[in-house]
Amino acid sequence: MSSTTETLTLFDIAEQVERVCICGCGKSLAGAHGNRRVREECEKEWDKKRRDVKRKKLLQEKRTKAEEKFLEFHRRNPHIYDAILEKTLQLFKAGRKHYSIKAVYKFVRLEEIIKINGGKSNMNNNYTAYYARMVMDNVPQLEGFFQTRDREV
Domain residue extents for the chain: 1-59, 62-153
pLDDT in tens, 23-80: 555 555 545 555 667 667 776 776 666 655 555 555 555 678 888 899 899 999 889 9
User: Given this model, what pLDDT does residue 140 score?
Assistant: 86
Percent of the residues in the chain that have a pLDDT greater than 70, as a whole number: 58
Mean of the per-residue pLDDT values for the chain?
Answer: 75
> What does the DSSP assignment read for the chain?
--SS-PPPPHHHHHHHHHSB-TTTT--BTTTGGGSHHHHHHHHHHHHHHHHHHHHHHHT-S---HHHHHHHHHHHH-HHHHHHHHHHHHHHHHTT-S---HHHHHHHHHHHHHHHTTT------GGGHHHHHHHHHHH-GGGTTSS--PPPP-
pLDDT single digits (tens) 74-98: 999 889 999 999 999 999 999 999 9
pTM score above 0.75: no
